[in-house]
Structure 1
Amino acid sequence: MEVRLNNGAVEVKIDSFGAELRGFKDLETGREYMWKRDPEFWGKSSPVLFPFVGVLKDGKYCYNGKEYFIKTRHGFARDNEFELVKKEDTCAEFLFRSNEKTREVYPFDFKLYLKYTLEGKKLVIEYRVENLEDEKMYFSLGAHPAFSTPLEGNSKYEDYYIQMDQEESGELNILNGALVDSKKKVKGFDGRKIVLNRDRFAGDAMIIEHPRSTKVYLKNDKTGYNLSLTFKDFKYIAFWNVPGAEFICLEPWNGISDYDNCSGNLAEKKGIEVLEGKEKFVRKLEIEIL
């Protein structure tokens, strides 16, 4: 089911399957900022990553002496129908809750809410995780919005660039296959600016651990394309693209793929979040057309 929000400045489209953001259109210019989901490259536009970010080593983990198997990347929430629990002209809220099927691979009772709210040319996305149990709950949560990088006029893909709001070391985690390399990091850029090119993501995502920045911009000075993403209280920010595709993903995470030397014990997992019994975990993103 498609849900639309419109405040006269922008129009947003959300699919209840995965509560996935499918459209973010500037009604003044007619520019669509979300990736068109071309299956030749990547058939999604903004999946929610829960209860894991990335992959598990050997597709499994151990909790309280029992093994659980999840072969899919980024958990399972994105591949399920969400319930629409609130709808107004400029706001919609979706819910996915644990069930018998989820408990087979993830032994926690939870509610996961995604709330979308329009404020001018800004879209606020609130992620809320509720632990329904009395015991601790271990989980990861991530966002994965893909923004279109159209080649308008005489512009080239290389005219697009990412700009951090703070100086960064440029040090990146790298992957050993699908797992995070435990032995080394690489110097990926200098300062605040990352210029895009077709080979930038040939080795998969660029992952910054504990960034100083809380806001990142995607820009093209030739076309006037200017978008910001504010991501306070996230442990990682990652950038990703399929070489040849006209999009770039800006991905704030609280969690990360397993390291190649991990134990497989869920409580020891790098980047994992711990939610006490009956507590709630809330994070917000702000996507704004500038």
Structure 2
Amino acid sequence: MITLENSQLKIMVNAIGAELSKITSVKNETEFMWDANPNVWGSFAPNLFPIIGALKNDTYFFEGNAYKLPKHGMVRNNDAVILHERTTNSLKFKLNYSEDSLKIYPFKFEFYITYTLNNNSIEVQHTVKNIDKKPLYFSVGGHPAFKCPVFENEVYEDYSLEFEYIENSETHLINMDNGLISKNTKPILSNTNTLPLTHDMFNDDALIFKDLKSKKVTLKSKTHGNILSVSYQDFPYLGIWAKPTGDYVCIEPWLGIADNDDTNQDFTTKEGILKLDAGNTFKASYSIEILKL
């Protein structure tokens, strides 16, 4: 674990996969991140690149060739990620393409994830550099899991998510057999900005939103008020997820999405896929603000 601290917060990042693993109040040692209990879900905040979610049969096609990538891509749990640069208030990690990565993702890239600590907030910046001679296709996103409930003598149902604006939105349902996005939807937010949290709301996997007006969502407690917020201006998709038995909630800003049930598996036309021309650099950030210090 690599530590970064200021007068308000201490964060810890696991060097393997550059995974944000702890956000702790300096004042009272309150912990805001899920503890990655392996009996429930053994991750803290995987970094998602170059895909989000699952591919059909874990496979995509590019220029007539088939390639396999695991769910959420190649950064998660990857010990080839290195600490590239450290400043007084930031940690910058890097993953470079390799001969092994080219076998599953045929693009020459540099991927950076930078955590910057400013007062009571953490900015998480994703940088993708195309160092190839051809366009690079990718998705990128976050998967931070926040402790819920945060304080003793609370239960999961004491918590809710409050969106920036009044929303009317459906979740796009996941096919439980293969993890792909089905054509079916279910109303979730109906003229409201509040989503009460319950364990059973995740019985059918994640809530997936494609059309939210809000670019900020706040985790709220009935007894302690606003706990933290996630702002995601650069990200058009949002996932909300937890294991039904887990005392946490993931607030997931995404640039990209899992394959649709009816995909033809062409990587260049995959929903949400981004194209980065040769020699260009792409950046996208979200931020976590701790409100209950």
- TM-score range for the pair, normalised by the shorter chain length: over 0.9
Distance 1:284 1:245 in 2: 27
Which residue of the partner structure matches residue 83 of structure 2? 84
Distance 1:79 1:270 in 2: 25
More displaced stretch, 89-98 vs 145-154: 145-154
2:63 corresponding residue in structure 1: 64
Match of 2:236 in 1: 235
Residue in structure 1 matched with residue 160 of structure 2 by the alignment: 161
Give the corresponding residue for 1:189. Answer: 189
- Aligned in 2, Cα 1:106/1:116: closer, same or farther, shift over 3 Å? same
| Residues 1:276 and 2:277 aligned together | yes
TM-score, normalising length: structure 1 = 0.96
- Taking only the aligned residue pairs, the percentage that are identical comes to 32
Return the offset for 1:225.
5.0
Deviations 1:31-72 (A, max 9, x none): 1111101001111000001111011111111100111122x2
Q: Deviations over 1:111-130 (max 9, x none)?
A: 11011111101111111011
Counterpart Cα distance in 1 of 2:206 and 2:38: 19
Shift of 1:145: 0.2
Aligned-partner Cα distance in 1 for 2:152–2:264: 51
Q: 1:224 to 1:166 in 2, by over 3 A?
A: closer
**Where do 1:1-290 residues align within 5 Å?**
2-70=1-69, 72-81=70-79, 82-150=81-149, 152-177=151-176, 178-182=179-183, 184-190=184-190, 191-224=192-225, 226-290=227-291
- CA distance in structure 2 between the partners assigned to 1:45 and 1:244 by the alignment: 16
In structure 1, C-alpha distance between the alignment counterparts of 2:225 and 2:262, rounded to whole Å: 45
Give CA deviations for 1:64-88 in whole Å, capped at 9, x if unaligned.
Answer: 0111122x21111112121111113
User: What secondary structure does 1:167 align onto?
Assistant: strand
- Give structure 1 stretches of 5+ with no counterpart: none
Equivalent pair of 1:151/1:157 in contact (CA under 8 Å): no
1-side partners of 2:117 and 2:28: how far apart?
A: 17
Matched residues in 2 for 1:151 and 1:127: separation?
A: 28
Q: Give the secondary-structure state (helix, strand or coil) at the position aligned to 2:86.
A: strand
Distance 1:55 1:267 in 2: 16
How far apart, CA to CA, are the structure 2 residues paired with 1:80 and 1:248? Answer: 23
Residue 240 of structure 1 and its aligned partner are, at CA, apart by 0.3
Distance 1:23 1:16 in 2: 13
Provide the C-alpha distance between the structure 2 equivalents of 1:280 and 1:211, rounded to a whole number of angstroms: 27
In structure 1, how many angstroms separate the alpha carbons of the residues matched to 2:12 and 2:42?
A: 16
SS at match of 1:188: strand
By how many angstroms is 1:151 displaced?
6.0
Aligned mates of 1:272, 1:169 — CA distance in 2? 25
Secondary structure in structure 2 of the residue aligned to 1:48: coil
The CA deviation string for residues 210-248 of structure 1, in whole angstroms up to 9 with x for no partner, is 321111101103134510111012120010011121100
Contact 2:234-2:286 at 8 Å conserved across structures: no
Q: Secondary structure at 2:174's aligned position in 1?
A: strand
Is the contact made by 2:4 and 2:90 (CA closer than 8 Å) also made in structure 1? yes
Instruction: Number of aligned residue pairs: give it.
Output: 287
Q: Which amino acid aligns with 1:188?
A: I
- Structure 2 unmatched ranges of 5 or more: none
**Structure 1: how far apart are the matches of 2:201 and 2:46?**
22
Matched to 2:254, the amino acid is W
When the two chains are superposed, the root-mean-square deviation of aligned CA atoms in Å is 1.2
Structure-2-length-normalised TM-score: 0.95
Measured in 1, the distance between the counterparts of 2:57 and 2:20 equals 30
- State the one-letter code of the partner of 2:238: I
